[in-house]
Structure 1
């Protein structure tokens, strides 16, 4: 089951006003001063952005891949995902690594592509594939990871070194893997805009056992909190599904512009759990019990 299409089951929250919580900002330690999109990390990772999102455009992607989006415009809804897959397969020579100059013996690494990264995340977000995806968010959006198997706080520490090693191992011997992920995000945004014109948010849920396991920036009335998410996160649009993963449920109105991927976007890539991969930052959440 992918992104819901009908209003009664839309999993969508209304756009909210400022409420009673303050204007918690993205901590300096959670962001880079530069990135590769049209908004700086301090803006796109802020609470204000969650409430009032605007499009996020990765540098040069639309310009470099005009032919892909021309083909998508000419295709019907049922065919667009195959148009996208075919374009990436040919453009990045995913089935012919030798054409890209690959001469190594470990062809499995040469075939590590966008689909394998997302599938790897679905099995273990703290895997090598997870490190690649978190590193891509860091590079493109300027949001630093906060967790990869353990807290990431000190760029000179052992935990950060392990994360960087896994990221480098995941990228080694691949065909412009981060450029592939650029197109995955841009295609996801293209499909969301086509299928849900005018919408800005989707209500997503995450089951947790202790809210204290998250970085709480501010607490307010009605079990509302402002928390700092990891730079990439798994959610579900099904509250019932979220209940299977913890005794408490975090509900968040997530900007559609922060959706990197969702179940059903590309058949066979991310299956089950109505899963959404969402870019992080500071967000307001509501904590409820089962």
Structure 2
């Protein structure tokens, strides 16, 4: 991998001590320009977006979701070990709670009824087609709002608040949310249900190894380089990965392997059959991560 060009972010310091990166400049922490001072969960962005959190994750709880939707989790518990039944319970709960099939009950009339179709399923499917779409902007905006992690890419780099790229992202996010029925509240439940299912299925595990095919690691924000093929990167606030290394090989000449905390999985293929098709796709919340880079 020595022929692979890279440049650390400004101020980063790298040492070759056989153990990896020097931490003297605190590059294990989430940079200030990549986070908000407030969010809507139980940990601040500077903590949940840090390298320490990647290594030692703890539960992420969205404000008020468990309290407002306790009846959903009561029903899920009654469904027991039947995976299909739990999925049906979740879908039915959101359909009724947000009146997804009866837009007129929520005040939609005339031409505005079309916006009621912009529900959580359409958002996730839209992301799978193009993560830089309007649906992608809504999902990245939801991560920004709930976890305080700012997006770093949406079609172009997002580095300057108020710049043209940032304004374009904000316009797409606002357009995607306009006239919808509590769309971000629907996403709150998707994330919380995903965490519920991961806790059931992984029996105490804290991480899952995910892969992403890339052509140039220099396209990512590199905070430093460790020993061998290890890098420390700042990921976008929401990114797609796959659990299949073979599948990742189809998307680039190099493979990023990441130990992703289960608490940072927003959605994965198979959580709700029919929503994501193929690619064994996982949608993971970002921050600072150590990755291993390898050839196909």
- TM bucket (normalised to shorter chain) is over 0.9
1:201 alignment partner in structure 2:
207
Task: Give distance in 2, aligned partners of 1:167 and 1:119.
Answer: 16
Rg (Cα) greater in structure: 2
- Give the drift of 1:186: 0.1
2:172 alignment partner in structure 1:
166
Gaps of 5+ in 2: 1-18
CA contact (8 A) 2:76 2:86 kept: yes
1:275 alignment partner in structure 2:
281
- Give the drift of 1:21: 2.8
1:63-108: CA deviations, max 9, x gaps?
0000000000000323000000000000000011111112241422
Equivalent pairs, count: 272
- Give the drift of 1:110: 1.3
Match of 1:56 among 54, 60, 78: 60
1:28 paired with 2:32, answer: yes
Q: For the structure 1 residues 152 and 190, does the alpha-carbon distance in structure 2 shift closer, same or farther, using more than 3 Å as the test?
A: same
2:122 alignment partner in structure 1:
116
- Give the drift of 1:223: 1.1
1:144 alignment partner in structure 2:
150
Match of 2:42 among 38, 42, 57: 38
Task: Give distance in 2, aligned partners of 1:122 and 1:164.
Answer: 20
Match of 2:104 among 98, 104, 117: 98
Task: Give distance in 2, aligned partners of 1:248 and 1:22.
Answer: 25
Task: Give distance in 1, aligned partners of 2:65 and 2:36.
Answer: 21
Indicate the SS of the match to 1:105.
helix
Task: Give distance in 1, aligned partners of 2:84 and 2:127.
Answer: 26
1:252 alignment partner in structure 2:
258
- Give the drift of 1:162: 0.5
- Give the drift of 1:167: 0.3
Task: Give distance in 1, aligned partners of 2:188 and 2:197.
Answer: 14
Match of 1:187 among 172, 186, 193: 193
1:143-186: CA deviations, max 9, x gaps?
00000000001111010000000000000111100000000000
1:187-237: CA deviations, max 9, x gaps?
000000011121000000000000000000010111100000000000000
